[in-house]
Structure 1
Amino acid sequence: MSKEEKVPFETIVFSGVTFKVKNRHQAHEIISNLTDFNNQNIYNVFEDTWRFPDYEKNPVFLLAEDDVQMDILEMEFSTDEYPDIFILGFIFKKDLTVNKLISAYDTDNSPALIVLGKTTTINITLFGSVHYLGGGLQCDVLLGEYNHGELFVKGDVSAWLIYADDMNMHFEGFNNVQAVINAGRPDISICSRLTDTDGSIILIENYFPSTHKLSDIVADSYLEHDEVYDRETLVSDYYDTVFKKGDSLIDHSKEERYSYNGFRDAFIDMIQTLSDKLETENEESLFCNYEDTDYSFVHFEYDNKQYSQISATIVNGFNIRMRGLWCIDTQEIMLLLEYLYDDESTKYQWMNDETAEGIEFYSIKHAIITAFEVLNKDYEESDEEEYEEEYEEDADEEFSLEEFSSQFGAYKIPEDLVKLCDFQSQYGEETFSECFYLHSIDKTGLKTWSEDEAFYDSFIEFARANGSGSSYAYWLVDSDLNKCPIVVFGDEGGIHVVAENTQKLISLLTYDTEISVDHDKAYFYKDEDYYEESENINEFRDWAKKTFNLSVIETDEDADAITNEAKKIYGKKLNDFLTKFDIETYDEEDM
């Protein structure tokens, strides 16, 4: 535990509210016992990571001991009156009521929001830290964004819309939630109280699938189409035009859609349409895998009755199946939400007819509609094969050693990197170490740091480093690239030494975890609760051992040892170099 920090002053006014100023040790006494739904502690204020760094001057927590009501809470790190403090978190011991908006500071980094009582607001958007709401939440819209954030909510939640875009959000229970939307994979989880075989009640936390599309519940004027991800998204200025004004995104005139009125007739029409496709194609079933979900339509007989079924199963480790069954003989509809074992047998399930209320049955209806849309598309096998061939040709053209080598100019590409190129060509991009792949990169990104030719000609970028757009580059301190260190350029700031040479980087890649890049440092962190092995990581580790006799990196500390050794040799030199071009630097540790 670090030496206790001094408190610069006793109180501070933030957004019209007077807070007590506390140091880490004082905050630790209040929040150290807060736990997730597996009884694991959430906060360690002494951890010295991007959440609670110890390199900032005057780090403090702001504490409100009584109920608080305010207009807007935008959790900035400092104030105009006190620009030299660094706010690590806002702690509310009792209820927090905010008339318009609660907002974190930035997707990468933000003070933590910690409320022990009930939280009430219209709009709340969180990211950039681990946030905790301990007494329930009432709002119109809750947004969680980006993988630098996480949220835990205990108590009941009442909301029109909960929307997650690559941020994990954990809930104890939904009291009155209309719509849950995961922009990508299921990032939202909810606890369920189930009866065990001995009759005891157990609490199980499960990922929860989407219940709607944004356009089912959000006003059309606040929506646009994301061409990159081919999906609905909120307009870019929603924060200023809606959230800060205390307005709502919700369009209540869409009740017919978000309440799934008329679902029975729509489901029967879906069954008929897909049945006609079966008769036309002379098949017994329809099947399609799209974006890590298996969609299917089948006819079958059970207990002397004929059934038709539309289903969607989220695979890739989630094992969540949603299906609707139409009994042709009785004309009854049955909806099922199932959580499966790896062998696809059922762990537990929710089951009822199409009139059942509850968020679980909205998720089934949404999955059925999506499955129908996917399965009802006309797939011409010849066109699909032609597309796949064209795609493979494009992929081959996109990454060839000849084209890749061209960015190295007069420098000879290191033989170790050539071997890595060969491995990637065989197994594919992003398949052997999380988010990493070699590719051709021009100088455009480097020039955003400095237009000085002496700067951008001192680096050769050659690989994507993480999912947010950071890149790896050789720093040209020698004419032989084998003697040049590798640095990482952060997509939102920070240039840091990572490895002494190519082999050291390959060794880091065996950890199968993308690098995290902050303004002040770069590091590798693996959360075992959410870690998913890359498809070809075992082949890559075997290759690294056979080719270079490299041992597998197994811990954060092993990765730190490699990066710290590179910092000792090159860290100060890099900082001195960057300073010449007015690029902000930070003191490197262990130099």
Structure 2
Amino acid sequence: MIKEEKIPFETMVFSGVTFKVINRHEAHNIIGDLTDFKNQKIYNVFEDTWRFPDYEENPIFLLAEDDVEMDLFEMDFSTEEHPDIFILGFIFKKNLTVAKLISSYDTDNSPALIVLGKTTTVNINLFGSVHYLGGGLQCDTLAGEYNHGELFVKGDLIAWLVYTDDMLFHFERFTDVQAIISSGRPDVLICSNVQDTDGSIITVENYLPSTHKLSDIVEDSFVENSDYGTEILGNNYLEVFKEGLSILDYDKKEKYMYADFRNQFINMVEVLSENEELKENGKIVRHISGTTYLFIPFDYEGKKYSQISEEIGNSFSIRMRALWCHEDEEIMIILEYLDENGDPKYQWMNDENAAGIEFFCVKNAVMKTFEILMAPEAEEEDDEDDETEYAEYDSSFSLEEFAVQFGGYKLPEDLVKLYEFEQEHGVESYSECFGLTITNDKIGIKTWSEEEEFYNSFIEFAGANGSGSSYAYWLIDKDLNNCPIVVFGDEGGVHIVAESTCKLIQLLTLDTEISVDFDSAYFYKDEEYYEESENKEEFQEWVKAEFDLDAIETNEEADEIVDQAQRKYKQKFNDFLVKFGIEISEEDE
């Protein structure tokens, strides 16, 4: 039984509004049964994580029971008048109207915003927690940032721009949305009613790729390029948000409405048709970071067609294509979600004049594909290694490219920090035979079981030793911070090795590769043959500074970390393996 917390006072003023102060038990009664679009509960206020911690003094929720109107709403954990309290979340039982801006506190951590009625504002900028808008949202711009945030919007969404930089957005329906832009992988999910194989109508939640570039709709002064060459919002947009002004350029209507798409597409087909690569190979294709960009002419039922397409792999399986029929001079726009065999599961298809944001994302894909196919410096991944599909210890990939293999899961902050350290110091330079990797397909895991439930229960992210073993998250929770790490041995054996990313990082400070056999996985440093990695000392100092963890120096210390993880997860993991007919060691039975 969880002891009920006392509230320090009955009411509290925040942003000029008087809220009722409630504890997490009272909050649970209000928000504990809120669900996502898969009917899974969103909030557990007793979970004692960074979202709803137990270690802060005077944790409270602020509750508004009636409609609320504010000029500016910038969430914070406390106020100058009450610096000793810790606000876990703001709950609005009815409608919330904010004249200028609704904003979270920090990308790493923020109070949660929960509105059961309708939310109306000019700009809304969220991150740092899981937020819920249950009665719809109307705004000019909705922006989200960083993988510590997630947003669920039920009801109508009316917005000119929905922009996310590594934050998941879930929407029930787009009532009037002009542009969807994800700066990296697809991070926006929308519910759609589709026909099942038996003819019944079912609701599914699918990723929707970007419909535009930022520069197509945002005023130029607010658009910057990231280190990876993608367009991102510049920092000065926040000041404009606070003034309640728009960052959008409504004079760019011809761009964001794709007013001249027909002529542009025909011109693209004509230019690509004269390409020497097409004449030599019959197609022009680029494979970049799990995405395929393609131009191909073909005949179908006696007619000639030309197709420009983008297909996003890495577990997204989304294909967007436009076709030109040379005889009929008709353009067909197609958005498809593919099954594991590459065949369409769901499909949207119409001509280029059709309304619907689903078709905007296809037009955006066509524009991007043309640019990539025409760029002489476009780098194509080597298809000769498609059997393994691993970027073995190649640290040249961007964080966005690394994140794609995680699908809908948010990168743990600790893993992002490790990525940044590796980018600065070099792969395999700080711990023997360790390096972060991109796995474009689950070929290695599929050798254990071809059942989809099995191989989709893991995300590989790093090479574990010099012989081909790999580290992977075992997906037992929606938050990877709560998922243990396993090692897949290259010659047999799959074992739990660490409770978390942080614990794996501590194991790496031993500076020796992991040994994996059928019965066990262990770290053994032989001092007689040990050679120190070039950046071992910098790595150990970094681990101490970032995580307050001492470097481990002995095999016994490493054994204790592995044993601790196995005491917690080994039996559950063995039961999981047996379920799929995978043999486990007799000593584990």
- Calculate the TM-score normalised by the size of structure 1: 0.70
CA distance in 2, matches of 1:267, 1:403: 43
- Answering whether residue 366 of structure 2 is matched by residue 368 of structure 1, we say yes
What residue in structure 2 maps to residue 73 of structure 1? 73
* Cα deviation code 1:147-179 (max 9, x no counterpart): 111110000101111111111110001011111
Relative to 1, partners in 2 of residues 1:405 and 1:323: Cα closer, same or farther, differing over 3 Å? closer
Relative to 1, partners in 2 of residues 1:103 and 1:284: Cα closer, same or farther, differing over 3 Å? same
Residue type of the alignment partner of 2:80: D
What residue in structure 2 maps to residue 127 of structure 1? 127
Residue type of the alignment partner of 1:495: D
Q: CA deviation at 1:491?
A: 11
- The aligned length equals 465
What SS class does the counterpart of residue 274 from structure 2 fall into?
A: helix
What residue in structure 2 maps to residue 51 of structure 1? 51
Residue type of the alignment partner of 1:234: L
CA distance in 1, matches of 2:547, 2:254: 49
Relative to 1, partners in 2 of residues 1:49 and 1:173: Cα closer, same or farther, differing over 3 Å? same
What SS class does the counterpart of residue 215 from structure 2 fall into?
A: helix
Higher relative contact order (CA 8 A, sep 6+): 2
Relative to 1, partners in 2 of residues 1:382 and 1:160: Cα closer, same or farther, differing over 3 Å? closer
- Answering whether residue 210 of structure 2 is matched by residue 210 of structure 1, we say yes
* Cα deviation code 1:529-576 (max 9, x no counterpart): xxxxxxxxxxxxx9xx99xx999xxxxxxxxxxxxxxxxxxxxxxxxx
- The 5 Å alignment of 1:59-138 reads 59-138=59-138
CA distance in 2, matches of 1:190, 1:404: 38
Relative to 1, partners in 2 of residues 1:473 and 1:154: Cα closer, same or farther, differing over 3 Å? same
CA distance in 2, matches of 1:191, 1:491: 44
- The 5 Å alignment of 1:187-206 reads 187-206=187-206
- Answering whether residue 430 of structure 2 is matched by residue 377 of structure 1, we say no
* Cα deviation code 1:5-53 (max 9, x no counterpart): 0011110000000000000110010001100001110001111111111
- The 5 Å alignment of 1:219-238 reads 219-226=219-226, 228-238=227-237
Assess if the C-alpha contact under 8 Å between 1:141 and 1:162 holds in 2. Answer: yes
Gaps of 5+ in 1: 386-390, 408-416, 435-464, 513-522, 529-541, 552-591
CA distance in 2, matches of 1:281, 1:510: 60
Residue type of the alignment partner of 1:60: I
* Cα deviation code 1:445-467 (max 9, x no counterpart): xxxxxxxxxxxxxxxxxxxx979
CA distance in 2, matches of 1:54, 1:332: 62
Assess if the C-alpha contact under 8 Å between 1:473 and 1:488 holds in 2. Answer: no
Residue type of the alignment partner of 2:3: K
- The 5 Å alignment of 1:154-169 reads 154-169=154-169
What residue in structure 2 maps to residue 15 of structure 1? 15
- The 5 Å alignment of 1:263-274 reads 263-274=261-272
What residue in structure 2 maps to residue 584 of structure 1? none
Assess if the C-alpha contact under 8 Å between 1:63 and 1:90 holds in 2. Answer: yes
CA distance in 1, matches of 2:201, 2:394: 55
Residue type of the alignment partner of 2:86: F
* Cα deviation code 1:86-120 (max 9, x no counterpart): 00000000000011111111111111000000001
Q: CA deviation at 1:359?
A: 0.5
CA distance in 1, matches of 2:327, 2:174: 36
Relative to 1, partners in 2 of residues 1:121 and 1:491: Cα closer, same or farther, differing over 3 Å? farther
Assess if the C-alpha contact under 8 Å between 1:472 and 1:487 holds in 2. Answer: no
Residue type of the alignment partner of 1:130: V
Q: CA deviation at 1:474?
A: 5.0
Give the counterpart of 1:322 among 309, 320, 323.
320
What SS class does the counterpart of residue 282 from structure 1 fall into?
A: helix
What residue in structure 1 maps to residue 148 of structure 2? 148
What residue in structure 1 maps to residue 238 of structure 2? 239
Relative to 1, partners in 2 of residues 1:136 and 1:345: Cα closer, same or farther, differing over 3 Å? same
CA distance in 2, matches of 1:220, 1:308: 34
Q: CA deviation at 1:200?
A: 3.1
Q: CA deviation at 1:2?
A: 1.4
Q: CA deviation at 1:489?
A: 5.6
What residue in structure 1 maps to residue 274 of structure 2? 276
- The 5 Å alignment of 1:100-499 reads 100-226=100-226, 228-240=227-239, 242-278=240-276, 281-378=279-376, 418=432, 426=466, 432-433=471-472, 494-496=547-549
Relative to 1, partners in 2 of residues 1:152 and 1:490: Cα closer, same or farther, differing over 3 Å? farther
Residue type of the alignment partner of 1:94: K
Q: Which deviates the most, 85-94 or 229-238? A: 229-238
* Cα deviation code 1:252-296 (max 9, x no counterpart): 011110000110000000000111015774321111012321011
Q: Which deviates the most, 271-280 or 49-58? A: 271-280
CA distance in 2, matches of 1:303, 1:94: 58
Relative to 1, partners in 2 of residues 1:84 and 1:255: Cα closer, same or farther, differing over 3 Å? same
CA distance in 2, matches of 1:231, 1:128: 23
* Cα deviation code 1:494-517 (max 9, x no counterpart): 5246978567669979999xxxxx
Q: CA deviation at 1:304?
A: 1.2
CA distance in 1, matches of 2:220, 2:284: 33
Q: CA deviation at 1:230?
A: 1.4
CA distance in 2, matches of 1:193, 1:28: 31
Q: CA deviation at 1:195?
A: 2.9
* Cα deviation code 1:190-221 (max 9, x no counterpart): 00012334443211000110001110011001
* Cα deviation code 1:471-505 (max 9, x no counterpart): 888599xxx999x9998967996524697856766
Assess if the C-alpha contact under 8 Å between 2:141 and 2:160 holds in 1. Answer: yes
CA distance in 2, matches of 1:141, 1:406: 43
What SS class does the counterpart of residue 212 from structure 2 fall into?
A: coil
Gaps of 5+ in 2: 384-390, 397-420, 436-461, 474-499, 512-524, 528-535, 574-582
CA distance in 2, matches of 1:55, 1:501: 32
Q: CA deviation at 1:60?
A: 0.3
Assess if the C-alpha contact under 8 Å between 2:136 and 2:157 holds in 1. Answer: yes
Residue type of the alignment partner of 1:378: P
What residue in structure 1 maps to residue 485 of structure 2? none
CA distance in 2, matches of 1:511, 1:329: 68
CA distance in 2, matches of 1:263, 1:330: 17
* Cα deviation code 1:342-392 (max 9, x no counterpart): 11111010000000011000000000111111111236999999xxxxx99
What residue in structure 2 maps to residue 4 of structure 1? 4
What residue in structure 1 maps to residue 452 of structure 2? none
CA distance in 1, matches of 2:277, 2:427: 50
Residue type of the alignment partner of 1:231: T
CA distance in 2, matches of 1:507, 1:372: 54
Assess if the C-alpha contact under 8 Å between 2:372 and 2:378 holds in 1. Answer: no
Assess if the C-alpha contact under 8 Å between 1:471 and 1:488 holds in 2. Answer: no
Residue type of the alignment partner of 1:36: D
Residue type of the alignment partner of 2:144: G
Residue type of the alignment partner of 1:50: W
Residue type of the alignment partner of 1:150: E
Q: Which deviates the most, 260-269 or 503-512? A: 503-512
Assess if the C-alpha contact under 8 Å between 2:543 and 2:550 holds in 1. Answer: no
What residue in structure 2 maps to residue 534 of structure 1? none
Residue type of the alignment partner of 2:229: D
Residue type of the alignment partner of 2:165: D
Assess if the C-alpha contact under 8 Å between 2:196 and 2:202 holds in 1. Answer: yes
What SS class does the counterpart of residue 334 from structure 2 fall into?
A: strand
Residue type of the alignment partner of 1:143: A
